[in-house]
Chains A and B, each alone.
Chain A
Amino acid sequence: MTDPRIIKMAKVIVEYSLTLREKELFRIEGSYLAIPLMKEVYRAALAVGAHPYTKVAIPELTEIFYRYASDEQILFLSDIEKREAELLQARLFIYSDSNIKSLANIDSKKIARWRESQRQILSLLLTRKAQGELKSCLTLFPTQSFAQEAEMSLSEYEEFVFSACFLNSPDPIAEWQKLSAEQARLVSFLNKIHQIKVIGPSTDLTFSVAGRRWINSDGRANFPSGEIFTCPVEDSVFGFIHFSYPAIYLGREVQGITLQFQDGKVIRATAEKGQDLLDALLNLDAGARTLGEFAFGNNKNIQRFTKMILFDEKIGGTIHCALGAAYPETGGKNQSSFHWDMICDMHQGQVYADGKLIYENGKFLI
C-alpha cells in the first residue's frame, strides 16, 4: 500500500504548490527512486484535468555519460528538450538521488562544460517562469542517500521530510495557507523597513534593505518551504557574522565560518575547517564576496540540520545569508556564477529593524 503521506504530498504539490489547471502540459521529473511519488502526482494531475507525463532519470547514467561522452556529445543540445522548455506549462522536479557522492570523482570541468551547454534551456525555463507562463516546483523524495547524509535511518528521515511538509496534519493545504498568511504579514511589515541589524554570538551585522522587496516563500517554488527573503543593498553591509552550521558547497563542507564585511564586501573570512575551499570560492568572481540574499527560516517543523539546503535554509529560528547571485525578484543586483547559502542559528540572537527589536531567540516579536 502506498504510504498515505505520499498521497497527501502529491495532492498538496498539485493543488497548492503548482495550482495545476485543466489542459496544462505538465512534466514530472525525478529518478526511479521517486516513482511512488511520481505515480501519485500523475494521478492527482489527471484528476485536475492536466496532461501529465514523466521523465524518469537513472542517476547512474550521469556517471556513464561523464566517463564516456566526447566534447561533442557534452555540448549537444537536443531540439526536443528546447521545444519542451517552450511548451511546458508546469514542471515538478523531485530530488531523489541514489548516491549524492556518485560524481565526486568526475572532472568538475566536464560537469561545468555540460551545464554551460544546457544554459539556453535553463534560461528559457527561468524567463518563462518569470513571465508567469511556467509554474515550477522543486521538492525532495526521501531516499537512503539523503537519510545517510542527514545521519538518520530511512524511516526517521521520511518522518522528518513529511513532517516538514505538514503532511501529518489532517489538512496540509490549510496549514500551508496559514503559514503563507503569517509570512505575508511579516513581509508587509519588513517591506517598510530600511535597516536591519543582526546580533548574536560573534555576530554584529548591519545592512540596508531600502527599496528591496521581501519575498514570501510559502511552499510553491520549493516544497516544503517556510522562509522570507530579500537582498541587502549591495554596498551597505557592515560588521561580522558567525555561521553556526557548516556551509556546504557541491557536497563539500566548510565549518565554523566567520565573515567580516566592509562596504558590502567580505574583507576577512575564517573557517575552523575548510579554509582553502572558502578562500577559493570567495575569489571565484567579482560578485562572490557580496551578499545576494538575507533570509529568515520560518518552518517550525524543521529543527535539525540535514546537509540538504532545501530543508536547512528553512529551519525555524535561523537566518541565512548567501554570497553570490541575487534573486532578481527581490531587487537585488549582485551577479555571480554561484549562490552559497550559510545558515546561522538565532536561538541566542536578536534582530533589529530601524532600531526596533523585532526578533529574539528564534522568534518574531511583531
Chain B
Amino acid sequence: MIDPRIEKMAKVLTRYSLELKKGDLFRIDGSYLTEPLIKAVFKEALLLGANPYTMVTIEGLQEIFYKNASEEQLKFVSPIDWLTCEKLDAQLTLWGDWNTKYLTNVDAKRVAMYFGARKDLFNRRLERISRHELRWCGTLFPTQANAQDAEMSLSEFEDFVFTAGFLDRPDPIAEWQNLSRQQATLIEELSKKRQFRIKASDTDLTFEVQGRKWINCDGHLNFPDGEIFTSPIEESVEGSIRYTYPAVYQGKEVEDVRLQFEAGRVIKASAAKGEDFLKAMLDTDAGARYVGEFSFGNNYGIQRFIKHTLFDEKIGGTIHIALGASLPEAGGKNKSAIHWDMVCDLRKGSEVYADGELIYRDGKFLI
C-alpha cells in the first residue's frame, strides 16, 4: 500500500502549490526513484483536467554526458528545450537521488560550460516563472541517498520530509495558508526598510534593498517552504561573510566558505574544502560573483542541516545569500547561469539591523 502521506503530498502539490487547472500543459520531472510520487501526482493532475506528462531522468546519464561529450555537445541547446520552456503551463521538479555525490569527480569547467550555454534558456524560464506564465514547484521525494546525507535512516528521513511539508497534519493546505499569512505580516514590516546589516562570527555584511520587493515563499515555488527573500541592490553589497554550513551545489560540497564583497562583487573567496570548485563556479560568467538573493529561513519545523538546499535554506533561524541569477520578481537584475544558495546559521551570537534598528537576534525576529 502506498504511504498515505505521498497521496496527501500529491494533492497539496497539484492543488495548492501549482494550482493546476483544466487544460494546463504540465510536466513532471524526476528520477525513476521518485516513481511513487510521480504516479500520485500524475493521477491528481488528470483529475484536475490538466494534460500531464513525465520527464524521467536516468541514474548516471549526466555523468556519461559530462565525461564523454565534446565541447560542441556540451554547448548544444536543443530547440525542443526552448519550445518546452515556452509552452509549459506548469512544471514539477522532483528531487530525489540515487547518490548525491556522483558528479563529485566531474570536471567543474565542463559543468560550467554546459550551464553557460544554457544561460538564456535558464533566464527565460525564470522570467516566465516570475510573470506567473509558468507555475513551477520544486520538491523532494525521500530516497536513501538523501537520507544518508542527512545522516538518518530512510524512515526517519521520510518523517523529516513529510513533517516539514505539514503532511502529518489533517489539513496540510490550511497549515500552508496560515504560514503564508504570518510571512505576509513580516514582509509588511521589512518593506519599510532600506539598509540591512548582518553581524555574526567572522561576518559583517551590509547591503541595500531600496526599490526591491520581499517575496513570500509559502509553498508555491518550493515544497516544503517557509522563507522570505529579496534581491539586494547588486553593487551595494559590502563586507564579508563566513558560512557556517557547507555550500552544496550540483552534488559537490564546499566547506567553510568565506566571501569578501566590494561594490557588490566577490573579490576574495576561500574554502577549507572544495575551493577549486568554488572558484570555477565564480568564474562561470560575469554575474556569478554578484548576489542574486538574500533570505530569511522561516520554517521552524526544520531544525537540522541535511545538505539539501530545499530544506536547509528554510531552517528557522538561518539566512542565506545566493550567488548568481536573481529571481526577477524581487526586482533583482543580476543574470547568471548559476544560482547557488549558501546558508548561514544565525541562531547564536548574531544580529540583523535594518536602517540601524535591531530587528533580529539569535535566529528570531524582534518585529
Contact pick for B59, options A25, A35, A78, CB 8 Å = A35
Instruction: State which size class the interface on A falls in.
Output: 20 to 34
Instruction: Let me know if B64 and A58 touch, CB within 8 A.
Output: no
The stretch among A61-69, A137-145, A356-364 that forms the contact with chain B is A61-69
Contact pick for A84, options B42, B58, B80, CB 8 Å = B80
Instruction: Let me know if B32 and A87 touch, CB within 8 A.
Output: no
Instruction: Let me know if B25 and A78 touch, CB within 8 A.
Output: yes
Instruction: Let me know if A78 and B53 touch, CB within 8 A.
Output: yes
Instruction: Let me know if A78 and B51 touch, CB within 8 A.
Output: yes
Instruction: Let me know if B46 and A39 touch, CB within 8 A.
Output: no
**B interface with A by C-beta (< 8 Å):** 23, 25, 32, 35, 38-39, 42-43, 46-47, 49, 51, 53-61, 64-65, 68-70, 72-73, 76, 78-80, 83-84, 87
Complex-state Cα separation, A31 to B65, whole angstroms: 20
What is the minimal beta-carbon distance from B67 to any residue of chain A, in angstroms? Answer: 9
Instruction: Let me know if A61 and B39 touch, CB within 8 A.
Output: yes
Given contacts A25-B78, A69-B46, A80-B83, A49 and B72 within 8 Å (CB-CB): yes
Given contacts A46-B73, A53-B78, A72 and B65 within 8 Å (CB-CB): no
> B43 to chain A: which residues have CB within 8 Å?
64, 68
29 sample A-B contacts, Cβ–Cβ < 8 Å, listed by A number: A32-B56, A35-B32, A35-B58, A39-B58, A39-B60, A39-B64, A42-B61, A42-B65, A46-B65, A46-B68, A46-B73, A49-B72, A51-B73, A51-B76, A53-B80, A56-B32, A58-B56, A61-B38, A61-B39, A64-B43, A64-B46, A68-B43, A76-B51, A78-B25, A78-B53, A80-B80, A80-B83, A83-B79, A87-B80
What is the minimal beta-carbon distance from A97 to any residue of chain B, in angstroms? Answer: 16
Instruction: Let me know if A54 and B54 touch, CB within 8 A.
Output: no
A277 at the interface (CB under 8 A from B): no
Complex-state Cα separation, A51 to B55, whole angstroms: 17
Instruction: Let me know if A79 and B87 touch, CB within 8 A.
Output: yes
Instruction: Let me know if A61 and B54 touch, CB within 8 A.
Output: yes
Given contacts A35-B58, A79-B83, A64 and B39 within 8 Å (CB-CB): yes
Complex-state Cα separation, A68 to B47, whole angstroms: 7
Contact pick for B68, options A43, A55, A69, A84, CB 8 Å = A43
Known: A32-B32, A51-B78, A80-B25. 17 other contacts (CB 8 A): A25-B80, A42-B64, A43-B64, A46-B64, A53-B78, A56-B57, A57-B56, A58-B35, A58-B54, A58-B56, A65-B46, A70-B46, A73-B49, A78-B25, A78-B53, A83-B83, A84-B80
What is the minimal beta-carbon distance from B25 to any residue of chain A, in angstroms? Answer: 7
Complex-state Cα separation, A49 to B76, whole angstroms: 11
Considering the complex of A and B, which 8 residue pairs feature the smallest CB-CB distances, nearest first? A56-B56, A68-B46, A32-B32, A46-B68, A76-B51, A43-B64, A64-B43, A51-B76
> B76 to chain A: which residues have CB within 8 Å?
51
Complex-state Cα separation, A60 to B25, whole angstroms: 20
> A55 to chain B: which residues have CB within 8 Å?
55
What is the minimal beta-carbon distance from A255 to any residue of chain B, in angstroms? Answer: 37
Please give me the residue from chain B that is nearest to A81 by CB atom. Answer: B53
Please give me the residue from chain A that is nearest to B81 by CB atom. Answer: A53
Complex-state Cα separation, A64 to B83, whole angstroms: 27
Complex-state Cα separation, A76 to B89, whole angstroms: 15
What is the minimal beta-carbon distance from A64 to any residue of chain B, in angstroms? Answer: 5
Complex-state Cα separation, A73 to B51, whole angstroms: 6
Complex-state Cα separation, A42 to B69, whole angstroms: 11
Please give me the residue from chain B that is nearest to A35 by CB atom. Answer: B58
Please give me the residue from chain A that is nearest to B44 by CB atom. Answer: A68
> A39 to chain B: which residues have CB within 8 Å?
58, 60-61, 64
> A51 to chain B: which residues have CB within 8 Å?
73, 76, 78
> A76 to chain B: which residues have CB within 8 Å?
51
> B42 to chain A: which residues have CB within 8 Å?
61, 64-65
